[in-house]
Chain A
Amino acid sequence: MPVVSLHPDILRNMVGIDVSDETLKQDLFNLGLEFDGEDEDGNFQLEFAPDRLDRLSVEGVARSLRYHYGKERGVFIPPLNPPTWSICIQHPISHNRPYVTGAIARGIKLDDSILKSLIQLQEKLHDTIGRNRAKGSIGIHDLSMIKSTETPDGMSSIYYKGTPPSEPSFVPLGLQEELTPMQVLESHPTGKKYKQLVEEDRQYPAFFDELGLFSFPPVINGARTEVTVDTRDLFIEMTGSDQWTIDKMLNIICYALDSHGATLESINISSPDASIQKPDFSSDTKHIDHSRVEQILGISLTSNDILDSIERSGLDATLLTPPYQQDDSLEKSQYKVTIPPYRVDVLHPIDIIDDIGRAYGFYKLQPRYPDVATIGGRTPNSNLERAIRQALIGTGFEDLLNFNLINEDENFSKMRLKDGKEEAYGNYEPVTILEPYSAEYTIIRTWVLPSLLMVLENNTHRAYPQNLMEIGFIAHTDHTQDNRIKEKNAIAATIAHSQASYEEAKSKLQVICQRFNKKIETLPISHPTFIEGRAASIIIDGKSKGILGEIHPEVLILHGIEVPVSAFELSLDSFI
């Protein structure tokens, strides 16, 4: 989950209210921001779920708190001056980043902490809604360093267009030397990180002014337009694969800049066929039913309760009462709710009801046990599994719980099986993980006994007898299944001590079968895991259901086990 780092003093200052750290933490918790410690500079680390992206920096958190404390109410739309600048889209254009948006912010007074906060906001927007810059990326520049072209419409214009990888050269942020876009991807650390986002494009995306390339999205800005604490006017550009996404990212940035006193100015985005203005601060509306709010919160509310909570969520609402409603009942009433342009998380009226709950205080609601009668029960498989486990434990087995993931070496080689080649119990085509995190866990186990042998291997220093059992999940590839995989549960047991024998294993298996009224036959069979002449196929109801025998000495040596081991495994469905 994202963590936003902010100093409580700056927050208090921006909220304009003096509350203790403890109250602040509690109020933030109830808004959904969990205090997760402080760094050495006293910054709160606040963890929160990535829905309210407007809270990714101190500016947005402060705005939420101002609403929460009632210092601000309703939808706020920052003033926007008419455009004097244009971004002209010119062909050829980057295939992966065809969309562009932007804004200008003038007269901002930056200091180190504001600059840091803006960089944090920018990076966190990249990581979340920007999908690591693939869907949207942000460039912020010092406007005074951009040399525009005067176009016939009277606008100061710059250009967004595709550029061949090998030209032109520019000085990337943080470097002294000139590099081509291609060289940036090859040698610059940021270039390497985002290489895969542009390398397939024949035309790399770039912004140009009179002096040449000044931004290479989504990779890096040019050094020339770098923003410092002395910068007063900002030029903000965003590119990406989805217009809505970059427009919303721009809105969140613009609101943060507005809260630091910047004057926002529109930008013309002009292409050969059209010209539009950004940012887009139009707001959305949704309708919620009074009765649904009451029902979700489980309490009665007046229209004022609801309107107050809506306004303290930074939304606006008007009550719509149907004309035929005569009494004071609000049962059929609705609220028409206006949603400000920085919100990205409101997809449905329920999201507004959630806002109302947070503003009202979910913590004020009393839990109640629902008046709903149902009958509980377990599945037949679950009951069977438990009964068999208890029967096995009664014969002296220690119950175990192992991982369903394993690797080929443990599942096959160390059991003397050649994966999927010859026909033998356990020797099935395994289900493989496409991109395993660890070489230890690469397939789903095709049988349970390898796991038990691993436990024996890891516990040779513990007292014997080690009579182990597991009822566990196994699977192998089967293309006739809907999910292409045959999934099963199997019962496995190992007997390990100095006198362990085939007979002991068989006697325990027999008593279990007897208790579940199953007759078993044990027919001689060859199986590489077991000693030749001491292995049997377990036959139940005329079908081969598993394997029984004394483990081959080579398998024991491969596991570093120094006592004889006898074992059996059969599928759980044998007992149905």
Chain B
Amino acid sequence: MSIKLPKNQKKVLEAASSTKQKTFDQISSATKLKPEYVSGASYSLEERGLISITTDSHDELLLTDEGHHYSKNSLPEMRLYEAVQRLGDLETEFDLSQAFDQSNLDKNEINVALSNFVRKNYGTIDQGKIVASRDIDIQLDPEQAALDSISQNLKVEDSITKRLESRGLVKVNQSTVRSIILTKEGMAVLQKGVKVSQSVTNLTPQMLSKGNWEHIEYTAYNVEAETAPYIGGRVHILRDTAEKVKDTLVSMGFQEMEGPHADSEFWINDCLFMPQDHPARTHWDQFALSVPPAQNLPSDLIKKVQKAHIDGVGPDGDGYHSPWSENVALGVDLRGHTTSLSMRYLSGQSIGTIEPPQRFFSVEKVYRNDTLDPTHLLEFFQIEGWVMAENLSVRDLMGTFTEFYRRFGITNLKFKPHYNPYTEPSFEIFGEHPRTGALIEIGNSGLFREEVLHPLGVSCDVMAWGLALERLLMLMYGFEDIRDVHGTLCDLQLLRSTEVPY
């Protein structure tokens, strides 16, 4: 039984031979089909197993414009040598300028001539003087000979071709020739005869409106074929993680905070009961900014904070034995943690006085003056959260964080007693890695000290914790170098191919 093929495929199949490879060009002239149609039809026929396609690539050497020029006029270094010869004896010193005058080389050629003259040991050039060597016969120059051969389509040694390529005198063109030959199946089909199919590729609006869609046969596609990749919009993986953290905290009753990235050291450090000579307050750790001191800070609050630093809080309280100055407090820095926002909210400066109970959070950028490496960035997102209530205990703190991390698949938390200047008790939180099971540090937490809360006018308990969002991201999705994701060195391909988490 004969088979049906689209018109172009039938023509190509009939033009192919079972014994001799025919190129696309040959088929094109035989069938009067445009080359692109020959190519399209041939691949379809190959998919049907009726022909096979052979691809033959080879390199073709071509002279560049400069190469052509030297092929005609000989290489500049040779012309320089000949110019020196014309001036007088070999092995004799002549002024370079004289040699140039004699040579007719243009400005570009002079540079080429000088470097190659020396490279090829045509002689020496030193302090404006040139000497032509007698040990050389420039008529045997292999590069010149190769140029001439290439211009006549003759074969040339690879090493010389490379040299000429690096001088920009030849270029290598890769040319590909495809040819087809009938397969056994193709011959069998041809013997049985081929009819032209009336199939169409595209369903058109006209077919629908005229109603002739019913009588039409549709060309079968190769439904298994790969398609061109589609690049669509998607949310950034780190942003997506931030959104998940926000959703989680909102569902646990936390309200979001916002506030300045650049803030006075007062809010960033002093309110947190960080002594002014604390090692983390040097410029090497935090970004001080070149702006005048901050203004309009609440002066009564400054006095209370200063008093806490110097005298401590409560009848048994002691202060630090460190200097404290308002000038230091008014310096403007990029925040090293978003606890500056917590201080602003707790003090009533952000949204007015707040009464317990409260839960607040933020997922915002913080800045650390540090080296950039696969796990550390100069700026990263900090997850910050706190709970304000009467009579909180460390068990409440442990319970809250156990619940939070559980939502991200991190379980079996361990609380290592820790020290922060602003919390007591304090705990570093460790948890089991969701995939490897290893014990890893996942956050820092504690109950704010009275030296922090009292100046802010807070008389109940506040427990707080912090964690880098990037750390959560790396744990959950296994990124190894955070720079591939966050920042201008990011890899679009990686971002495009990251699995969507949910």
Interface pair A482/B295, CB less than 8 Å apart: yes
For window 377-413 of B, CB contacts with A under 8 Å fall at 377-379, 387, 389, 391-396, 398-403, 413
B100 within 8 A of A: no
A395 within 8 A of B: yes
Interface pair B394/A451, CB less than 8 Å apart: no
Query: Which stretch of B104-112, B137-145, B208-216, B236-244 is in the interface?
Result: B236-244
A351-373 interface code vs B (CB 8 A; 1 in, 0 out): 10110011000110111111011
The interface residues of chain A lying within 8 Å CB-to-CB of B251 are 376
Interface pair B400/A483, CB less than 8 Å apart: no
The interface residues of chain A lying within 8 Å CB-to-CB of B320 are 347
Instruction: Write the chain A residue with the least CB distance to B357.
Output: A372
For window 405-441 of B, CB contacts with A under 8 Å fall at 413-420, 424-428
Interface pair A400/B490, CB less than 8 Å apart: yes
Q: Shortest CB–CB separation between residue A110 and chain B, in angstroms?
A: 31
Instruction: Write the chain A residue with the least CB distance to B277.
Output: A131
CA distance A158 to B221 in the complex (A): 101
For window 241-283 of A, CB contacts with B under 8 Å fall at 242, 244-245
Interface pair A348/B318, CB less than 8 Å apart: yes
* Partner of A298 from B332, B369, B393 at Cβ < 8 Å: B393
B253 within 8 A of A: yes
Q: Shortest CB–CB separation between residue A526 and chain B, in angstroms?
A: 27
A303 within 8 A of B: no
For window 143-193 of B, CB contacts with A under 8 Å fall at none
Q: Do A437 and B395 form a contact, CB below 8 Å, given A354-B424, A378-B250, A392-B233? A: no
A455 within 8 A of B: yes
* Partner of A347 from B255, B296, B319 at Cβ < 8 Å: B319
Query: Which stretch of B25-33, B42-50, B117-125, B282-290 is in the interface?
Result: B282-290
A171 within 8 A of B: no
Q: How many inter-chain residue pairs (CB < 8 Å) link A and B?
A: 295
The interface residues of chain A lying within 8 Å CB-to-CB of B234 are 393, 398-399
* Partner of B287 from A52, A346, A374, A433 at Cβ < 8 Å: A433
A477 within 8 A of B: yes
* Partner of A374 from B238, B253, B420 at Cβ < 8 Å: B253
Interface pair A485/B262, CB less than 8 Å apart: yes
Interface pair A296/B425, CB less than 8 Å apart: yes
B256 within 8 A of A: yes
Q: Shortest CB–CB separation between residue B73 and chain A, in angstroms?
A: 35
Interface pair B400/A377, CB less than 8 Å apart: no
B235 within 8 A of A: yes
Instruction: Write the chain A residue with the least CB distance to B267.
Output: A483
Residues of A within 8 A of B (CB): 29-32, 34, 48-52, 128, 131, 135, 242, 244-245, 284-287, 295-299, 345-351, 353-354, 357-358, 362-363, 365-370, 372-379, 381-382, 386, 389-390, 392-405, 431-438, 441, 444, 451, 454-455, 458-459, 462-467, 473, 475, 477, 479, 482-485, 487
19 residue pairs A–B, Cβ–Cβ below 8 Å: A32-B417, A242-B322, A298-B394, A346-B318, A347-B318, A350-B447, A366-B398, A367-B401, A367-B402, A367-B413, A382-B246, A431-B291, A436-B369, A438-B378, A454-B488, A463-B493, A479-B292, A483-B260, A484-B295
Residues of B within 8 A of A (CB): 229, 231-236, 238-239, 243, 246, 249-258, 260-264, 277, 279, 283-284, 287-292, 294-297, 312-322, 332, 334, 357-359, 365, 367, 369-372, 377-379, 387, 389, 391-396, 398-403, 413-420, 424-428, 447, 449-451, 485-493, 495-496
- Which 8 residue pairs are nearest across A and B when measured between Cβ atoms? A298-B393, A49-B419, A298-B395, A367-B398, A51-B419, A370-B396, A454-B488, A484-B291
